[in-house]
Amino acid sequence: MSKSDKIKILYIDDEVNNLVGFKASFRMEYTVFVAPDTIQAFDVLEKNPDIRVILSDQRMPNQTGVQFFEQVRTLHPNPMRVLITGYADIEAVIESINVGHIFRYIRKPWQEVDIISAIEEANKFYVTNTMLSVKNEELQKAYDELDKFAYSVTHDMRGPLLSILGAVDLSKNIDDINEIREMLGMMEKSVLKLDNFIRSVHEYYNLKRGDLHIVNIDFNSIVTDLTDMYDITRKMANIRFVTNVSQKEAFRCDEMYLRIILNNLLSNAFKYNRKDISDKFVELNIETGNGSSVITVKDNGIGIHESHIGEIFKMFYRATNEETGSGFGLYNVKDALTKLNGEIIVDSKPEEGTTFKVIIPSK
């Protein structure tokens, strides 16, 4: 077991001899911290929040072990508490359980096996508890997202549908074919918006539930696919698409996640172009080396206002009215990157353009 894998424990006793003896006995198995009084014990806990088990003597000059544990419970609720005492009267036992919420009670002079068994059992409890609180946090996050999701569904899915419904209703009384055509064009946009939203929901689900499938990535073939995919969009909006791939070494990653990231960044770059300039471009640079890939997506589009940059990765956040955004794309990008241990940096100026830089380590 390497040093960092050892369970961290803290022992408090006002008799320095006991501290020395304790440390000598258990330093091989555990990372042992000791403190001669409870003030110093709090100091140690402050600096080492990952201490899992605290063993304390009961009789100490300024504070009893039970009083100390009572305080520890509120300030450092996670570590397990073990009381060690030579005076085993029933009152002290009752108090230590009721007030100090101790895990074990060990009688002095202690036997090594008792201490080890107490630490091992306490550690099991500690691990289970921490896992539980991590799971609880995940669950809470999932619930929060579900709430947001349910709320957004009423708008993002009902919205386009009701627009179409309104248009259908209205067109019943319109005879002018040109007007009908104009409305059909707008209805088409609503349908595309709804479809776009449903696709993003699908991506979101894949990202949340899926496990990583790590494969060797060939960026050249991905970029060829992307070039084909955006060819029509590019031509219709008259945008130059410049790609640059330099892959010097193998890169291992989940291809679906990678494609979700690239797709969302590129579709944004193409979507939020500036209609008023002639030389529109989207640039995709991928450089792989030193165990990671750096992907840069740069455009000279409408840009993002400074006050919105902090919000763009939030679910359903939309910083602009332009185009049919779902408020889902960049959230999914961030989510995928979290799973890939990657990071993303945004640099943007309104009316000048946006650059997203993504760094992903090879798996």
Partner 1 sequence: MTPNKLHFIVIDDSKLDCFIAEKIIRNTGRSETIKSFLHASEALDYIRNAPLATDGLKTILLVDIQMPVMNGFEFVESFDRLPKEKREDYIIYVLSSSINENDLNRVRYHTSVRQFLNKPLTSNTLSAMLDMVH
Interface residue list for partner 1 (CB under 8 A)? 151, 154-155, 158-160, 162-167, 169-170, 173, 183, 186-187, 189-190, 308, 318-321, 325, 327
Nearer to partner 1, 285 or 324 (CB): 324
Please name every residue paired with 288 in a beta bridge, in sequence order, or none if there are none: 247, 293
Minimum distance from CB of 191 to partner 1 (Å)? 11
Minimum distance from CB of 167 to partner 1 (Å)? 6
Nearer to partner 1, 143 or 151 (CB): 151
Please name every residue paired with 254 in a beta bridge, in sequence order, or none if there are none: 214
Contact 342, 295 (CB under 8 A): no
Minimum distance from CB of 151 to partner 1 (Å)? 6
Minimum distance from CB of 196 to partner 1 (Å)? 14
Minimum distance from CB of 162 to partner 1 (Å)? 4
Contact 282, 240 (CB under 8 A): yes
Whole-number Å distance between alpha carbons of 74 and 55:
17
Nearer to partner 1, 183 or 214 (CB): 183
Structure tokens at 29: 């198995």
Q: Which residues contact 312 (CB under 8 A, 6 or more apart)?
A: 304, 319, 330, 346
Pairing between strand 252-254 and 214-216? antiparallel
Which amino acid type is present at position 361?
P
Minimum distance from CB of 321 to partner 1 (Å)? 5
Nearer to partner 1, 259 or 274 (CB): 274
Minimum distance from CB of 319 to partner 1 (Å)? 7
Three-state SS string across 211-242, please? CCCEEECCHHHHHHHHHHHCHHHHHHHCEEEE
Nearer to partner 1, 182 or 343 (CB): 182
The burial of 282, by beta-carbon neighbours within 10 Å (0-12 exposed, 13-18 middle, 19 or more buried), is given as buried
Nearer to partner 1, 94 or 184 (CB): 184
Nearer to partner 1, 2 or 321 (CB): 321
Whole-number Å distance between alpha carbons of 268 and 265:
5
